[in-house]
Amino acid sequence: MPYISVTALSHVGLVREHNEDSLVIGPWTLCGTVTDNPQTLLFPLGRPLVVAVADGLGGQPAGEVASALVVRRLASLGTSLDGDQRIRDALDLCNQELYAAADGEPELATMGTTVAGALVLPETWVTFNVGDSRVYAAGEEGLRQVSVDDSPPPPPGRRTTSAVTQTLGGSRLFQDIEPHVSVTALAGADRYLLCSDGLTDPVPDEDIDAVLRVHDDGRAAFELWKAAIEAGGPDNITLALVRIGE
Cα separations in angstroms, 50 against 47, 135, 209: 10, 13, 24
Q: What per-residue string of b and e applies to 129-159 under the rule 16 or more CB within 10 Å gives b?
A: bbbbbbbbbbeeeebeebbbbbbeeeeeeee
Domains: count for the chain: 1
CATH number for the domain including 227?
A: 3.60.40.10
Model confidence band, residue 153 (pLDDT cutoffs 50, 70, 90): confident
Model confidence band, residue 158 (pLDDT cutoffs 50, 70, 90): confident
pLDDT tens digits, one per residue of 9-53: 999 999 998 999 999 999 999 998 899 899 999 999 999 999 999
Angle between helices 205-214 and 217-230 (to 10 degrees): 150
Cα separations in angstroms, 39 against 29, 42, 238: 12, 10, 12
Model confidence band, residue 221 (pLDDT cutoffs 50, 70, 90): very high
Q: Which domain holds residue 108?
A: 3-245
Report how far residue 114's alpha carbon sits from residue 162's, in angstroms, rounded to the nearest whole number: 12
Report the half-sphere exposure of 16 (CA within 13 A, side-chain side): 24
User: What Rg value do the Cα atoms of the chain yield, rounded?
Assistant: 17
pLDDT of residue 32: 86
* Cα–Cα nearest to 62, from 113, 10, 131: 113
Average pLDDT of the chain is 95
pLDDT of residue 246: 81
pLDDT of residue 157: 77
pTM of model > 0.75: yes
pLDDT of residue 61: 81
pLDDT of residue 204: 96
End-to-end Cα spacing for the chain:
6
